[in-house]
Structure 1
Amino acid sequence: MLAANPDLKCVVCYARISFDGRMKDAHGIEDQHREMTDNARQFGWLVVRRYTDNDKSASDERIVRDDFEQLVKDLAAGQTPEGYPIHGVMAVNDDRLYRRPGDWERYLKAFTAHEGRVYHDSNGLQDLYAEGFEIKGLVGVAMSLAETRKKQRRARNSHRNRAIRGQSVAAWRPFGWDDDKVSLRLDEAEAIRQAVKDVVAGASISEITRRWKEAGFITSRGNPFQYQTVKQVLLNPRLCGYRQIKGELVRDGDDQPVIGEWEPIITPKEWFAVTATIRERGQGTGLPRGGLVHKYLFTGILRCGNVLEDGTVCNNKMIGIKANDWLKYRHAYMCKKTVDGGCNRTYKRGDKTDKYVEALVIAKLEQQAASKARDLPEWGKEDQLERAIRSRKELERRWQEGEGDEAIDDETFFRNLPAIEERIKRLRAEQAEYLAKKAAAESAEEDIAASWETRTLSQKRELIKSALHAVIAVPGGKGQKAFDVTLLRPVWRSSE
């Protein structure tokens, strides 16, 4: 074609869009390429390659635009990877190509590495070789950057102002709420409500994740729930009607948490309790909790107390087994066979063992809960926080409204403000930690016995293991004898 028409211009087109997260169909990119193709046809140019960076910002230096980098490389080389010459570049607007000075300089250097090229955007044909065009381009980049930052500030301010007014600022439908982001989706809300109770009672995030998957729940974006997404749902203060920006609750002029316009799923006390529980677990290994699922309540917790011939105690972990069909009870606990490391000499009836040790554990947990709530000291720094907030308000008043000796200049205001804000931030963090501990203690004070039967087997085991190290089961001797509770000796954990 070039041989037949030496004046033919072989051009490349570059299209980019910053956000394609809603439809995810690249329609914005397609529209740009369609417009550039129509313009190329009017000029009689031949499009030999299309470069595309979809869903990528040009102003964020952390984002690598692969096709832009390829375009710069090909411009410098003078041809596309397929070997077609590049006589020009097309874009719907120059800010599709560059928004930062460094990108503009690299692009201009590669473009002008070869003579006679054309460039076309929404302003028509542009002469990138003209004297002073490099400065003109830098001015355009600076204006574009300023406009981008202005939009970002507006977006941040709008986001915060809407949060302060208690309006929903979620881009997607939050799990638990309907499409209006205000009213509850009852089945999801009930699942969250139950999950909060279960986690505070000892259930793991992994267990909640499995339960939600089995129930067929998916995220508002249509993805299956994973450990981290379930954790994010449960830690979100939206559950109790609060809003959080950058890890801090949004507060009103009286320093009280702003209540959102949406229906809450749980109470603030419940939210503080579940966040305290999850974060306390996070101080351990940081790994999802899970592991082996047992069929019987005291498998591995009961230990054989049989005294062997050499005078030592067997101390082997006992296992749960299905009882023989002719017996009145359904399961039992026994020491493993000698080939498996046990002595096979201790056997305990399952139902009565469970009932007796459960009663001991429940009594112990209730005693611990009452002691924990009673021994939790008051925070005692409310006055410090209130004084710090008053100091900040007074500083702002003297800066904005002060007259005469009361007035302070910008330098004084901004020199003193960071220290006050840091003190407020630290005190609020301490207050939030105290409220979380208080909520967890009050939640633990609830009637453990009444809610015991509603807990899953794994939740019961977690609570049992939090109260005792083991239960030593001493053999009752040969022959059938009445169940003797004195042959079950619990080894309690200390308060430490």
Structure 2
Amino acid sequence: MLAADPTLRCVVCYARISFDGRVKDAHGVEDQHRDMTSDAGKLNWLVVYRYTDNDKSASKENVIRDDFEQLINDLGAGTTPEGYPIHGVMAANDDRLYRRPSDWERYLKAFTKHEGRVYHDSNGVQDLYAEGFEIKGLVGVAMSLSETRKKQRRSRNSHRSRAIRGQSVSAWRPFGWEDDKVALRTKEADAIRKAVDDILAGASISEITRQWKEAEFVTSRGNAFQYQTVKQLLMNARLCGYREINGELVRDGDDQPIVGEWEAIVTPKKWYALTAKIRERGRGTGMPRGGLVHKYLLTGILRCGHVLDDGTVCNNKMIGIKANDWLKYQHAYMCKKTVDGGCNKTYKRGDKTDKHIERLVIAKLKAEAEAAASEVPEWGKTEDLERAVQSRKALEKRWQDGEVDDEMFFRNLPALEGKIKELRADQAQHMAKAAAAEAAREDIAASWKSKTLAQRRELIKKAVHAITALPGGKGNKDFDVELLKPVWKSSS
């Protein structure tokens, strides 16, 4: 074709869009390629390769545009990956290619490495070899960056203003709410409400994630729930009707949390208790909890009480096993074999062991709930928090009125803000305790059967340090509850 028509130019097209919308159908980049192909035909240019970076920003440093990097490499080499010559580049606009000075300089260097290339964008055919074009390009990049930052600043200001008014600013329908982002979607809201109660009762986020997957719940974007997605959803203050930005509650002029226009799923008190519970579990590990799933109620809680030949107690954690088919019960607990560190001397029938320990634990938890039936006293530092907030306001006003200079203002501000943050954390902890006290009043015996295995294990571990299982001796003997010795935790 080149031999037959010396005026023919082999060009490559680059298309990019920062946000592909909710549908993710790449229609934006397809439209760009279609328009560029039409323009190429009018100019007697032949499109030999198309580079595409869909749903990728050109202004963010942490975003890697794979096809842009490929374009830079191919311009330097002079050919496409298939070996076609590159006589020019087409783009819908120059800001599709670059928005940062470093990208412009890299692109221009690779483009001009070979002579005689053509470039076309919305302004028509451009001469990138012309004197002063490099500076012209940098000016364009600077203007583009300035406009981008203005848009980001306007977006942040608008976001915060709407947040202060309590309006929903979510781009997507939040899980649990209808498309208007205000009214509750009953089935999803009930699932969230149950998840909150289950976690407060001892369930893990991993368990909630499995339940939601089995129930075929999906996120608002249509994806299956993952551990981190569920955790972020439950930690969001939207659940209790509060508004937050970047993990911080938005507060009004009186330092009270802004209440959103949407319906709340749980009370603020219960949400504080939930977030405290989740943080407490993840403290020190940085890893998701609940990955290990036990099949039997007392695995790892029972400890072998067999006295060894040297007079010491075995004390190894006992494991749950499937019972032999001919037995009347389905599982049992035994001390590990000697090769695994145990003594293999203690064996307990599973169903009766579980039933006896459950009865003891329910009785203890019920007694503790009755003992804690009195209301948690009111938080006693409300006035301290109000004084600290008013002090900060007074300092800010004196600074704005010119009564306090910058040095004094910024020297005193951190201490006041630190005090406010400390008091708010103490207030949140108090609310969590109050919610936990309310939850403790439930009828443990009535709700025990409806709890999951993980929740029952959590309640048992809340009541006991361990349960020592003494061996029953040789021969087939009746089950003896006296051979099970719980080591109770104090109610405090």
Give the structure-1-normalised TM-score.
0.84
> How many angstroms apart in 2 are the aligned matches of 1:320 and 1:125?
77
Q: Residue in 2 aligned with 1:43?
A: 43
Q: After superposition, give the CA deviation of every residue in 1:271-307 in whole Å (9 maximum; x if it has no partner).
A: 1111111111101543431434335x44664556677
- Give the AA of the match of 1:72: I
Q: Residue in 1 aligned with 2:295?
A: 294
> How many angstroms apart in 2 are the aligned matches of 1:338 and 1:103?
65
Q: Residue in 2 aligned with 1:221?
A: 221
Query: Alignment identity in percent?
Result: 68
Are 2:174 and 1:174 equivalent residues in the alignment? Answer: yes
Equivalent residue runs for 1:225-374 within 5 Å: 225-285=225-285, 286-295=287-296, 297-298=297-298, 301-302=301-302, 317=318, 341-343=343-345, 350-351=351-352, 354=354, 356-366=356-366, 368=368
Match of 1:470 among 456, 467, 470: 467
> How many angstroms apart in 2 are the aligned matches of 1:258 and 1:358?
44
Are 2:439 and 1:453 equivalent residues in the alignment? Answer: no
Q: Residue in 1 aligned with 2:137?
A: 137
> How many angstroms apart in 2 are the aligned matches of 1:308 and 1:93?
82
Query: Could you tell which deviates more after superposition, 15-24 or 367-376?
Result: 367-376
User: How much has 1:493 moved relative to structure 2?
Assistant: 3.1
> How many angstroms apart in 2 are the aligned matches of 1:357 and 1:86?
78
Q: Residue in 1 aligned with 2:187?
A: 187
Q: After superposition, give the CA deviation of every residue in 1:202-261 in whole Å (9 maximum; x if it has no partner).
A: 112222222222222222222222222222222121111112211211112211111111
User: How much has 1:187 moved relative to structure 2?
Assistant: 1.5
> How many angstroms apart in 1 are the aligned matches of 2:321 and 2:477?
19
Query: Could you tell which deviates more after superposition, 354-363 or 226-235?
Result: 354-363
Q: Residue in 1 aligned with 2:158?
A: 158
Distance change >3 Å, CA 332–CA 216, structure 1 → 2:
closer
Q: Quote the RMSD (CA, aligned, Å).
A: 3.7
User: How much has 1:28 moved relative to structure 2?
Assistant: 0.3
Q: After superposition, give the CA deviation of every residue in 1:339-391 in whole Å (9 maximum; x if it has no partner).
A: 995447x767945x655543432343345567789898986554443233223
- Give the AA of the match of 1:147: E
> How many angstroms apart in 2 are the aligned matches of 1:83 and 1:334?
69
Are 2:205 and 1:198 equivalent residues in the alignment? Answer: no
> How many angstroms apart in 2 are the aligned matches of 1:150 and 1:170?
21
Matched position secondary structure for 2:261: coil
Distance change >3 Å, CA 418–CA 43, structure 1 → 2:
farther
Kept in 1, the 8 Å contact 2:242–2:259? The answer is yes
Kept in 2, the 8 Å contact 1:306–1:475? The answer is no
Distance change >3 Å, CA 73–CA 363, structure 1 → 2:
same
Matched position secondary structure for 1:52: strand
Query: Could you tell which deviates more after superposition, 380-389 or 91-100?
Result: 380-389
User: How much has 1:395 moved relative to structure 2?
Assistant: 4.0
Distance change >3 Å, CA 2–CA 126, structure 1 → 2:
same
Kept in 2, the 8 Å contact 1:274–1:440? The answer is no
Matched position secondary structure for 2:450: coil
Q: Residue in 2 aligned with 1:30?
A: 30
User: How much has 1:23 moved relative to structure 2?
Assistant: 1.4
Kept in 2, the 8 Å contact 1:302–1:473? The answer is no
User: How much has 1:27 moved relative to structure 2?
Assistant: 0.5
> How many angstroms apart in 2 are the aligned matches of 1:289 and 1:254?
40
> How many angstroms apart in 2 are the aligned matches of 1:292 and 1:191?
21
Q: Residue in 2 aligned with 1:393?
A: 393
> How many angstroms apart in 2 are the aligned matches of 1:131 and 1:446?
81
> How many angstroms apart in 1 are the aligned matches of 2:130 and 2:367?
85
Distance change >3 Å, CA 76–CA 331, structure 1 → 2:
closer
Distance change >3 Å, CA 49–CA 396, structure 1 → 2:
same
User: How much has 1:99 moved relative to structure 2?
Assistant: 0.6
Distance change >3 Å, CA 476–CA 3, structure 1 → 2:
closer
> How many angstroms apart in 2 are the aligned matches of 1:7 and 1:154?
48
Matched position secondary structure for 1:255: coil
> How many angstroms apart in 2 are the aligned matches of 1:410 and 1:306?
72
- Give the AA of the match of 1:219: T
Query: Could you tell which deviates more after superposition, 195-204 or 334-343?
Result: 334-343
> How many angstroms apart in 1 are the aligned matches of 2:16 and 2:94?
11
Give the structure-2-normalised TM-score.
0.85
- Give the AA of the match of 1:470: I
> How many angstroms apart in 1 are the aligned matches of 2:325 and 2:5?
95
Kept in 2, the 8 Å contact 1:58–1:100? The answer is yes
Tell me the number of residue pairs that the alignment of Structure 1 and Structure 2 aligns: 486
User: How much has 1:479 moved relative to structure 2?
Assistant: 8.7
- Give the AA of the match of 2:55: D
Kept in 2, the 8 Å contact 1:238–1:264? The answer is yes
Matched position secondary structure for 1:129: coil
- Give the AA of the match of 2:186: L
- Give the AA of the match of 1:275: T
Q: Give the gaps of 5 or more residues in structure 2.
A: none
> How many angstroms apart in 2 are the aligned matches of 1:444 and 1:73?
65
Matched position secondary structure for 1:12: strand
> How many angstroms apart in 2 are the aligned matches of 1:150 and 1:412?
32
Distance change >3 Å, CA 101–CA 116, structure 1 → 2:
same
Kept in 2, the 8 Å contact 1:474–1:488? The answer is no
User: How much has 1:147 moved relative to structure 2?
Assistant: 0.6
Q: Residue in 1 aligned with 2:77?
A: 77
Q: After superposition, give the CA deviation of every residue in 1:130-168 in whole Å (9 maximum; x if it has no partner).
A: 222222211111111011011111111112222221111
Kept in 1, the 8 Å contact 2:11–2:48? The answer is yes
User: How much has 1:57 moved relative to structure 2?
Assistant: 0.6
Matched position secondary structure for 2:11: strand
> How many angstroms apart in 1 are the aligned matches of 2:387 and 2:359?
49
Q: Residue in 2 aligned with 1:125?
A: 125
User: How much has 1:332 moved relative to structure 2?
Assistant: 8.5
Query: Could you tell which deviates more after superposition, 93-102 or 305-314?
Result: 305-314
> How many angstroms apart in 2 are the aligned matches of 1:171 and 1:162?
13
Equivalent residue runs for 1:358-437 within 5 Å: 358-366=358-366, 368=368, 381-400=381-400, 402=401, 406-407=402-403, 420-437=416-433
User: How much has 1:18 moved relative to structure 2?
Assistant: 0.6
Kept in 2, the 8 Å contact 1:373–1:438? The answer is no
Distance change >3 Å, CA 48–CA 476, structure 1 → 2:
closer
Q: Residue in 2 aligned with 1:207?
A: 207
Kept in 2, the 8 Å contact 1:398–1:407? The answer is yes
Q: Residue in 1 aligned with 2:10?
A: 10
Kept in 2, the 8 Å contact 1:305–1:475? The answer is no
Kept in 2, the 8 Å contact 1:314–1:343? The answer is no
Are 2:489 and 1:493 equivalent residues in the alignment? Answer: yes
